[in-house]
Amino acid sequence: MTVQTNTDIVELDLEHSIWGRVFSVAPLVVIGTRDEDGSYDLAPKHLALPLGWGGHFGFVCTPAHATYHNAIREQFFTVSYPNPSGIVVTSLTASPRCEDSRKPVLNALPQRRSVLYDGVFVADSYLFLECKLDQVVDGFGEHALIVGKIRRAEAREESIRRMDRDDEHLIRENPLLTFIAPDRYAKTEESRRFPFPEGIRY
């Protein structure tokens, strides 16, 4: 084994968030919930991911946000995976609430209704998930992991992988919106097959 000694490695102070010191790549989704008054809320999240290869999806949130309380009270949430062309709409879903706790800007954004639950999606998206709340795991500092069981999934036909479509070409023709935490984004359109070792199982 070759052990390298690096003189250009800097230890980071854990008293401050390390995620603001370096860039990291994450998905960017919009979580949809329903407010107590029956109106709809949309909020962007980048700490979000499928939990395993099965039917669970989770995202990180805080009790300081309405999304946290809405998901628990209503027992469901929606997930939109926006297209790069939807970056402005996605950004606007992060708009602060007014004094009456409403987000009036959401009324002007293109949306589509969900099917199983009384919710909405960001219309300019390529993947749509409807999730029934499964569990809330508190204890990550001021944050919590909200987990849902996917009950319905839809995708735009042009974004679906098929045997007769080359994956590299598919991504080039249908780029992915990528969040580069903490405050940048990219349109991913170039990709290469990962060089897995022979015999690996994944």
| 58-71 per-position pLDDT tens digit | 999 999 999 999 99
Any domain includes 194: no
Burial of 177 (0-12, 13-18, 19+ CB in 10 A): buried
Tokens found for residue 177:
């919106």
Domain count, the chain: 1
Any domain includes 84: yes
pLDDT tens-place string over residues 2-54 = 767 777 899 999 999 999 999 999 999 999 999 999 999 999 999 999 999 98
Q: The domain spanning residue 172 has which CATH number?
A: 2.30.110.10
Any domain includes 14: no
Position 100 pLDDT exceeds 90: no
Any domain includes 11: no
Structural domain for 105, as ranges: 25-188
Any domain includes 98: yes
pLDDT band at 199, cuts 50/70/90?
A: confident
Mode of pairing for the β-strands spanning 24-27 and 143-155: unpaired
d(C-alpha 111, C-alpha 120), whole Å: 6
CB 140 within 8 A of CB 83: no
| Mean pLDDT of the 106-115 span | 93
- 199 sits in the region (left: phi over 0; alpha: psi -120 to 50; else beta) called left
Any domain includes 141: yes
Any domain includes 195: no
Residue with tokens 């099965």: 54
Contacts of 41 (CB under 8 A, 6+ apart): 32, 33, 34, 35, 66, 67, 70, 103, 106
pLDDT of residue 3: 67
pLDDT of residue 96: 83
Residue with tokens 């749509």: 128
Position 133 pLDDT exceeds 90: yes
pLDDT of residue 43: 96
CB 48 within 8 A of CB 59: yes
Rounded mean pLDDT of the chain? 93
